[in-house]
Amino acid sequence: MEPWKDKLKGNWNQIKGNIKQKYADLTDDDLLYVEGKEDELVGRLQKKTGEAKETVQSWFNNDRDTDRDTNRNRSDRDSNF
């Protein structure tokens, strides 16, 4: 199992709370975690947030970096316009 999947499984409630604070429009269905279907969760979060796959996976590796990674990627995207 990939390291980010292990962290996701162990810390899901805390990670989910951090993501929901940042993206209040996400529903409980968007954030539904089913063991063995982590890639589907990443895909849903990518689609809803517009973030890159690697960014979403990084939230699970270190949930405290969610705000920093998200803000950095938004700044990168915004500077392209």
User: Which pLDDT belongs to residue 50?
Assistant: 96
Tokens of residue 30, six digits: 């968007």
Structural domain total, the chain: 1
**Whether the predicted pLDDT of 81 surpasses 50:** no
**Whether the predicted pLDDT of 2 surpasses 90:** no
- The residue range of the domain holding 53 is 3-78
Averaged confidence pLDDT in the chain: 80
CATH number at residue 49: 1.10.1470
Q: Which residues contact 58 (CB under 8 A, 6 or more apart)?
A: 4, 65, 69
Q: What angle do CA 62, 51, 48 make, to 5 degrees?
A: 110
